[in-house]
Chain A
């Protein structure tokens, strides 16, 4: 190479190589060191393997602080857009490690269509089960026999667990992860629970809806969604335990644990996803992975529908609308679980893995 040559023709680089190019510039600069965990991790190295780049990408939560603060964004010839390229690498890392292979890619090409098809499919199945007739239970089980529910739900729940488990193992090997210790886990979960890195380094949140303005809107939307989801999940789990361990089958009172958790979770999830869906179009798309913008939006809306149909179903208890509403709600829940390994939802698992790895490297 002659030294007078322009350094690289970056337009043609694949996301990993493009991210490497940008990260090497950041490593010579370091101005953004205070924003998040990505930069301190960068400064520990001089050269970056593909696994290192994937790890950095999953440490990034797309707060965009480093984009608006960067003196090298386009039209500058260095053309820095770290949030954008890391989003692409992140997306690719989820797709490349997805099990079964290819399913991830298919989902991201046509996620909305697939999600709709799965919902319709499950609704049809559930309505068919209802039509065949219930085994004469109470409450919801009057419209859908409990055994039929279990026969549909258990596989739909176990499949994603298996799939994500396999993906994470592959990913862990790719980034060179070591044996997981309790210390690293505690630190990672602590950071995740507080969304520490979403604070922007100065506790004023991230840049999203209005260029370089720092706000907490995205963090709040995300927290509501995450805690709402976890509460809903806890509601289902407690109901399962009550059913099998204490022999206390549904329906439950309003003041019972499953309903308290479920209604609170449903409300939080509705608010959180509504906020995220409202925010998303306001952000600059090129600072995320433009290839999957639609799929991400569809996923937020799917979660929103899960939450809303759940709440409506509670409200409609005892009315003639229940059979249809139940099928709709459970159809969306099933679609959500089944598609979890291929949707934006996996980000949570990869991010935790990245935080654990980061704690190991500290």
Chain B
């Protein structure tokens, strides 16, 4: 434990927390980070990220061309269907341009967009080594600035008295501690790590959801403060989920569990039946929709089946596919009824038409007379070996969060809480009311983390 009471306690140890800590320490504040995870798992969901979305008026570092404020904002409007706070959104967008050099100056290194992600080279700056390398660099920078870090330090209560936080309670290795800092920044993410809460919000299906990121984001501080009357934003019954490899670990499977095979496949549920148009649009645009679709199936599982023609058309999967020489054999290996699957595939094959198959664009190669149809990339599944992947919903984050103002200050029942700021996923619901824009999570965390750090440091001086 530390001997001196810090000026500022930062709850969490991911990107937003680190950006706040570094900014506040550079402004002269004595900063303590309370990270709920052990050191090996520090960095929350940020350790799983690969890039951040960055506005730029001209080529910037590894970013090509330009990506202006309005184009960026329009992209956000499209995914959120207008469910955003324009003022906060524009602050995040404008702040991203200036954050890129700040990140480099604080140890983050960038690389050209990864192979297979060329479409993002203009809009998203990739971290060399990914999010864990970023988190490592920030911890080093923070340490050099005198920021203290406690790992395994789980914050369970912030005492709100009037319009001030007067006490921070946390446990470390089973021992309870209290601190009385002058200011607090909450950057402890969403609550998707708490399955009971997910079940309460979503229903019993949520038991079968996989959590793509950290198990340590359980929303304890979020609910603790909401219970004390702090204002929330975002729909508590909603989470961002995508369809991922059904064999992924329950938590922390991260990026490698994504499966890009769906558009080239036939997807069946546990009854061997198709339930949605697999070829509706290019995969990045449908990735999130399939999380919900699969969640709606029995046992929250589905199976994507391809033949050898399509094997090399998508990024490799982390686990090898289940493989067989006939469809019934594949069905058995997948634990499905062989006759049902064979009938579904036969019916699909019979509905396929000739056409000019183009894997990288909407090719219009569609089925005829099939319900539901497949409107692109519909090629008969006939060439052995056949491959099968199971799909399950993988939760990225929850939308419920704190309501903050432009200074990242948390809003209480009757006005701002004088010494409380929030940054990152825990307040992102204000900006991302629904949907998701690749790379925007890190943008929100970086920009509002820096704002929160600056404001908190100004307050304690």
Contacts and interface: CB of A to CB of B under 8 A. Distances in A.
B246, B316, B318 pick with most chain A CB within 10 angstroms: B316
Interface in B134-181: 136-137, 140
Interface stretch (B15-23, B108-116, B216-224, B274-282): B108-116
A76 B254 CA distance: 11
Given A24-B316, A43-B115, A3 B136 contact: no
A234 B311 CA distance: 53
Contacts, number: 103
A252 interface: no
Interface stretch (A64-72, A185-193, A325-333): A64-72
Contacts of A32: 129-130
A4, A69, A75, A213 pick with most chain B CB within 10 angstroms: A69
B256 A28 contact: yes
A309 to B, nearest CB: 41
Contacts of A35: 128-129
A70 B315 CA distance: 19
A201 B48 CA distance: 20
Interface residues of B, number: 42
A206 to B, nearest CB: 12
Contacts of A25: 256, 318
B47 interface: yes
Interface residues of A, number: 37
A71 B140 contact: no
B112, B131, B133, B319 pick with most chain A CB within 10 angstroms: B133
B130 A71 contact: yes
Contacts of B115: 30, 33, 40, 43
A202 to B, nearest CB: 4
Contact of A75 (B40, B109, B319): B40
B128 A202 contact: yes
A264 B40 CA distance: 45
A29 interface: yes
Nearest to B128: A34
A7 B254 CA distance: 16
Nearest to A3: B390
Contacts of A33: 111, 114-115
A31 B319 contact: no
B133 A69 contact: yes
Interface in B11-45: 40-41
A77 interface: yes
Contacts of A28: 255-256, 258, 315-318
Interface of A: 1-4, 7, 24-25, 27-35, 40, 43, 46, 65-66, 68-78, 201-202, 204, 212-213
Given A46-B316, A74-B40, 13 more contacts: A3-B322, A3-B334, A30-B116, A31-B133, A34-B111, A40-B115, A46-B311, A68-B133, A69-B132, A71-B252, A77-B249, A212-B137, A212-B140
